[in-house]
Homo-oligomer: A and B are copies of this chain.
């Protein structure tokens, strides 16, 4: 009797932990935009693990918290911020696997210009995440613009294959 209650409780704990993991990953991705657009270098860098990688096309990959945080000092980024910009992540597709996870989705960069904002970048993103003592952190982010080439399409499709005949959730 007590054992069965214990088992039910353990099962609930697992389900809650799974929900918390997903919610924490949503939160992490929702932190990135406000952090880069407010030039908050330590927050940007702190989303990654110590040896974390940010690999965006056309650039040498950034490695480690400091390099990644300092991307907000880049010329193009500074120019966007001066004009007025928003880096917006989509609600991601998430695959959890114990202490690792992959989030797949889109990022867009809107830049102010006259009476409108131009969409200067729409990219496919793959966020490889690890559970650390401080919470979920990015081990590697791949970012490739959706310009018709094959690689961004592969990034978007990669985690879907195992689900084609399975549960959408």
Contact = CB atoms under 8 A, between A and B. Distances in A.
**Residue among A23, A91, A112 facing the most chain B CB atoms (10 A cut-off):** A91
A115 to B, nearest CB: 7
Interface in A1-31: 1-2, 5-6, 8-9, 12-13, 15-16, 19-20, 22-24, 26-31
Contacts of A8: 9, 13
Give the oligomeric copy count: 3
Nearest to A2: B1
Interface size class of A (residues with CB under 8 A): 35 or more
Contacts of A81: 148, 153
B135 A169 contact: yes
Contact of A153 (B5, B13, B39, B116): B39
Contact of A40 (B24, B34, B160): B160
A9 to B, nearest CB: 6
Nearest to A149: B84
Given A33-B106, A82-B148, A168 B19 contact: no
B145 A31 contact: no
B13 A164 contact: no
B112 A147 contact: yes
B5 A9 contact: yes
A128 interface: no
**Residue among A23, A43, A86, A159 facing the most chain B CB atoms (10 A cut-off):** A86
Contacts of A118: 116, 119
A135 B163 CA distance: 12
